Amino acid sequence: MPKLNYLDLSGGMNSKTSPLFIKNSECELVQNYHMDNLGSLTKRDGIVYLIGQIVDTKSVLGMYYFDDIQGTDYSNVLIAIDDATSTNSDIFKITTNAWASSKADDTAGAIPTFCSFMDYVFRTNGSDVIISSTDLATWSTTHLTNFTTMKPKYCWVWEDRVYAAYENGTTKYPSRIFWSSLGTYGSTLSWNTAANGQWADINPDDNDEIVWGLPFGKQSLIFKTESIYTWTFGQTEADKLIEVGTPTGLTVKITQGFCFFTNKYGVYAYVGTGKPQLISKKVQDFIDAIPTTNLSLMRAEVDNDHYYLYIGDVTVSGVSYSNVMLVYTISLKSWHIETYPFEIKFMARFKRNTLGTTEIYDNIYLGDDDGFIYRKGTGNQDYLGTAARTINGRILTKEYPLLDFPNDSTLKKMFVLAQKGVGAKVNYRINRGDWRAWKDLTERVTEGRIAGIGKTLQLSITDNSISQSQIEGFSFEILGEKGEKGEKRT
C-alpha cells in the first residue's frame, strides 16, 4: 500500500505561512522542543535554581560575569536587584554557596550595564555616577579621572579603551559617547569631557537616543531606538548603517560572526557588511503580538548556535502563551518557542568556574521576578523558585496533503518514530477538523490504525511528562485505488 514518509523535522517552526504550504520539514508550532539533534525534534532540557533566593519578590535588574584574568582571581557573577523595601538596589556576588553583597545602595530600579578592562569591572546605570572595582568588594573611581561625576547609562570596551554613552546627569546628552585614554597595564585611564575632548555626538538632531553600544569587528555599533551607526576611532562623525534600531539594547547580542537585535518589526542579523537582514518572518505573528508597552522589556542572550529572545506573554491566533522565548537556531536557520513558569527579567551567559563551593557552568542563566537565578539547559524539569515543574511540550505538524490531494484519500495506518517517547501523546485531525485521540508513544516505532477519509492530515504531539521525547518522523499508510479486498474505492 502507498505510504507517505516524513522523516526530517529540522525545519523548525513556521507559524506565519499557511500550515498546508509550509515545507515538509517544518511545523506549525514547536513548543519546548528543539532541533539540535539533526532531523528530529527533542524536548528541551530544564532549568535549576542557583543557590537560593536573593531578595523575595524583587526582579533581577542585571547580571554579569566578571572574568578576572590577571593577578589575584576575583572572577565572579554580579547580580543587581532592589532591596527588600525597594529603597535602593544592591549588587550581589557569590561566596561560599551563598549570595553576598558586592555593592550597596545604587538607585532602586536602575538597570546596570557592566564592562571589564584591565582587571577592573565598570558599572553604569544612568542614575548613579560611573564606578569601578577590581576585587568586587571595594568600588571606587579608579580609571575614571575627570569622569567621576558622570552618570552614563551604558559602557563597553573597544580597541583598548572604555566607552560610555548617554550621559543622564544634570545636563543630559542622550546622543553622546565618551571614551577613555588608551589603556595599558600599569597605567590609569583618564577622560576628557571638555570642548574638543574625548567625546562625540551621534546625530544629536534626530530626536532619538542611544540605547546600546558594543564592538563588532573593526568598528563599534551605536544603537538608537530608530537607527544604527558605525563608529571608528578618530572619525569626525559616525556613519548611519540603517534606519531601524531597537527599543532596548538588551536584545543586542553577538555570536558566530552575527550581531542580532530586535525591534517591533522583528529579529535582525548583521554580519558586518551590507545591511542587517530580517530573519524572523516565520514567527512574525509572535513578534506582532508583543504589546507595544512590552517591547522595552525584551531580553536576549546567545550561545554558540542560538539566539534566545524573551518576549513575555502573547496571544497568537486566539491562543495565549505565557513567558515566551523565541529561539533561533543559527546553523539551521530555524525557529522554535520555549515557555517558562516565570517572567524572565534578565539573561546572561556565565563562564565555567568554581566560586567557593558553587559550580558555575558555561551556560545561559535567567533572572526572574522573585529574586531567583536559574541555569538553563540542565535536567528534565523546570523550577519556579525551589518547586519543580514539568515542561509542557507540544508539536503541531504541517498539515500534510494526502496521496490523492486535492481529492480524498482513505487512511489506514500510521507509524510514529520516536526515542524516549514514553509520556508523549499523539492526536490527529483530518481536513483541519476536530482532534481525534490516537495513541501514547511506547515503542521505538509506534503503529496503529487511523480511520478517516480526507484531503489533509495533521498531528498534534504533546508531552507533559518528565521524559524528554525525541520525535523523528511519521509514516502514513494510504489505501490504494482498490481496498484491502480488491474492491474499487468509491
Q: What is the pTM of this model?
A: 0.95
CA 137 to mean position of chain CA atoms: 31
b/e code 440-463 from CB counts within 10 Å (16+ = b)? ebeeeebeeebebebbbbbbbbbb
The Cα–Cα gap between 251 and 240 comes to 20
Domain 47-389: CATH superfamily is YVTN repeat-like/Quinoprotein amine dehydrogenase (2.130.10.10)
* C-alpha cell recorded at residue 302: 546567545
Q: Which residues share a beta bridge with 106?
A: 89
Fold of 3-43+393-478: Jelly Rolls (2.60.120)
pLDDT above 90 (res 237):
no
Q: Does 3-43+393-478 match 47-389 in CATH topology?
A: no
pLDDT band at 1; cut points 50, 70, 90: confident
Cα–Cα distances in Å, from 188 out to 119, 198, 254?
A: 12, 16, 29
Closest by CA to 124, choosing from 77, 87, 175, 168, is: 168
Quick one: pLDDT at residue 317? 94
Can you tell me which residue has the cell 546625530? 203
Whether 15 shows a pLDDT value over 60: the answer reads yes
Average pLDDT over residues 76-100: 97
Closest CA to 418 of 10, 5, 31, 7: 7
Residue 482's pLDDT band (cuts 50, 70, 90): very low
Cell numbers at 314, concatenated: 502573547
Going by C-alpha positions, the residue among 309, 362, 369 that lies closest to residue 335 is 309
The predicted-structure confidence for 101-111, as pLDDT tens digits, reads as follows 999 999 999 99
Cα separation values, 325 from 27, 252, 366, Å:
17, 15, 12
pLDDT of residue 483: 47
Three-class HEC string of the chain: CCEEEECCCCCEECCCCCCCCCCCCEEEEEECEECCCCCCEEECCCEEECCCCCCCCCCEEEEEEECCCCCCCCCEEEEEEECCCCCEEEEEEECCCCEEEEEEEEECCCCCEEEEECCEEEEECCCCCCEEECCCCCCECCCCECCCCCCEEEEEEECCEEEEEEEECCCEEEEEEEECCCCCCCCCCECCCCCCCCEEECCCCCCCCEEEEEEECCEEEEEECCCEEEECCCCCCCEEEECCCCCCHHHCEEECCEEEEEECCEEEEECCCCCCEECCHHHHHHHHCCCHHHHHHCEEEECCCEEEEEEEEEEECCEEEEEEEEEEECCCCEEEEEECCCCCCEEEECCCEEECCEEECCCEEEECCCCCEEEECCCCCEEECCEEECCCEEEEECCEECCCCCCCEEEEEEEEEEECCCCEEEEEEECCCCCEEEEECCCCEEEEEEEEEECEEEEEEEECCCCCCEEEEEEEEECCCECCCCCECC
- CA dihedral sign of residues 382, 384, 385, 388: negative
Task: Give 486's pLDDT tier (boundaries 50, 70, 90).
Answer: very low
Q: Chain-wide mean pLDDT for the chain?
A: 95
Domain ranges of the chain: 3-43+393-478, 47-389
Cell numbers placing 366:
535567567
Cα→Cα distances 333→14, 328, 487, Å? 11, 7, 47
Nearest in space to 307 (alpha carbons), one of 251, 385, 356:
251
pLDDT confidence bin for 481, thresholds 50/70/90: low
**Between 271 and 485, whose confidence is greater?**
271
- What is the per-residue pLDDT for 221? 97
Mean pLDDT for the stretch of residues 1-5 = 86
Specify whether the CB–CB gap between 326 and 280 falls below 8 A. yes
Q: What does the pLDDT read at residue 489?
A: 42
Cα(242)–Cα(265) distance, integer angstroms = 14
pLDDT on residue 480: 65
Mean pLDDT, rounded, for 235-242: 87
The per-residue pLDDT for 71 is 81
- pLDDT band at 490, cuts 50/70/90? very low
Q: Which three cell numbers stand for residue 33?
A: 522542543
Residue 16 has pLDDT above 90, yes or no: yes
